[in-house]
Amino acid sequence: MTKKFDLNLLRIFTVVYEQGSVSKAAEQLNLTQSAISNSLKRFREEAGQEVFNRTGRGVKPTRFGQEFYERLRLPLMELESLVESLYQFDEVQQHRFTVYCHEAVHHQLRQNLDCLLANTNIEILLIEIPSDETRIYDDLINEKVDLLIDIIPAKGSLFTSTVIRQDDLCCVVKKGHPRLNEGTMSKSAYLKEQHALFDLTRFDLKFVDLITDEVLPKRKAYSEHKSLLGLVEAVSYSEAVGVVPMSLAKRYQSTFNLVLLPFPFAKRTFDSYMISLTKMKANEANRWLRDMIIKAI
C-alpha cells in the first residue's frame, strides 16, 4: 500500500516560503524551529530534491521550490478561504479588530466609526501605519492586524487590495502669503518657493514625487515631516508651500488659517486602499469589518 502524503507538510512549506525564514514560520505556526526544520526534511525526502537553500538570514527557494509553490498557491488559497467561511460571526458578541491606517484618513475614519459602533460590543482599534514595510505585512500575514488602509496596493496574490477612497491634491500656504494668495499658481511660481515636504520613508520618496506624473526639479526644502499635520503646521507659520490631500486641507483650513491652491503639475488621485488577506475573503468577521470600513470611509 502506498504511503499517504502528510498534508501538514504543505502548510509548513508554504509558510516558510512566504516568510523566507524558519524562525518567522515557527512563530506564525506556533511551532518550534526544530519542528519546522524536521518537517522540511520530511518534505525534502518526499519530494526527492531540495526545496530551500539556506541564506545568511533565512532561506531561499530552489527552482523546484518556486515551481511547486506556484502550483500549490491557488488550490491552497481556495482551501483556506473555504475553511475561513466556516467561522460564524455574531455582531452581538464582543469583538475587537485592529486596523493599520494611514494618517490622511485616520481621524475622519475614527470619528465615523465611533458613530457607527455606538451601542455595540464591537471595537475597532485604528493604529497609524508603521514605517517598516516588512513589519506591516508580517503583522497582516500573522493576523496581528485584520486590515491595512494604505496609499499603495499590496503586491502578490496573498493580498487583496481595493480602492475605497480617491482624493484630489492641492497646495496649501498660509493666509496672507506675500506671493501666493491667488486662485491659481503656475509651475514656475511653485518651484521658486520653499517647500514643506512630507517624507515617505517607506518608499524612499517625497510625497509629491509619489503622486505626480511629471519628474519635478529639485525643490528648496524649508522642512521635512513624517506627519501631514506637522507639515500643515509648518506651512501655517512660514512662507513654505505644502502639498496635501484636498480633504485633509479642508478639514484643517480654518484651524491653521490656510489658503488652498491648485497643484500645478499633472497628478494622479490620492488613493486609499483597503488591503486584506485573500484567504479571508469568505471569513464572516473580516467581511463584516471590510463592509464597516467602506461604510465609514
**Residues with Cβ < 8 Å from 27, sequence gap 6 or more?**
142
Task: Reply yes or no on whether the pLDDT at 168 is more than 50.
Answer: yes
- As for how many domains the chain has, the answer is 3
168 three-state secondary structure: coil
All three cell numbers of 227: 506627519
Per the model's pLDDT, the better-predicted residue between 237 and 7 turns out to be 237
Q: What is the CATH number of the domain that holds 49?
A: 1.10.10.10
Residue 56's pLDDT is 78
Nearest to 81 by CA among 280, 276, 275: 280
DSSP conformation class of 264: -
Per the model's pLDDT, the better-predicted residue between 150 and 56 turns out to be 150
224 three-state secondary structure: strand
For 231-249, what is each residue's pLDDT tens digit?
999 999 999 999 999 999 9
**221 and 255 inside one domain:** yes
Return the H-helix or E-strand segment holding 39.
helix 33-47
Residue 84's pLDDT is 66
All three cell numbers of 235: 506651512
For 215-227, what is each residue's pLDDT tens digit?
778 889 999 998 9
**59 and 40 inside one domain:** yes
Distance CA 264, CA 267 (A): 9
Q: What is the mean pLDDT of residues 137-151?
A: 91
Q: How far is CA 5 from its chain centroid?
A: 37
Task: Reply yes or no on whether the pLDDT at 1 is more than 70.
Answer: no
**Number of Cβ within a 10 Å radius of residue 160:** 17
β-bridge mates for residue 223, sequence order = 196
Q: What is the mean pLDDT of residues 135-147?
A: 90
Per the model's pLDDT, the better-predicted residue between 19 and 275 turns out to be 275
Q: What is the domain range of residue 33?
A: 8-84
Burial of 212 (0-12, 13-18, 19+ CB in 10 A): middle
Residue 202's pLDDT is 67
Residue 207's pLDDT is 73
> Where does the chain show beta strands of DSSP type E?
52-54, 59-61, 95-101, 122-128, 147-150, 159-167, 169-174, 194-200, 205-206, 220-225, 242-245, 258-262, 270-277
**154 and 204 inside one domain:** no
pLDDT, averaged across the chain: 88
For 10-30, what is each residue's pLDDT tens digit?
888 988 998 888 988 888 888
At residue 201 the predicted structure's pLDDT band, cuts being 50, 70 and 90, is low
**119 and 28 inside one domain:** no
**CA–CA distances in Å: residue 5 to residues 34, 78, 105, 113, 246:** 20, 20, 48, 47, 57
For 55-112, what is each residue's pLDDT tens digit?
877 899 999 988 888 888 888 877 777 776 666 677 778 899 999 999 999 999 999 9
**Residues with Cβ < 8 Å from 170, sequence gap 6 or more?**
243, 244, 245, 246, 249, 260, 261, 262, 263
273 three-state secondary structure: strand
Task: Reply yes or no on whether the pLDDT at 265 is more than 90.
Answer: no
β-bridge mates for residue 96, sequence order = 123
**179 and 263 inside one domain:** yes
**40 and 126 inside one domain:** no
All three cell numbers of 249: 486641507
> Considering the domain boundaries, does residue 90 fall inside one?
no
Q: What is the CATH number of the domain that holds 256?
A: 3.40.190.10
**197 and 136 inside one domain:** no
Task: Reply yes or no on whether the pLDDT at 206 is more than 70.
Answer: no
All three cell numbers of 62: 530552489
> Considering the domain boundaries, does residue 3 fall inside one?
no
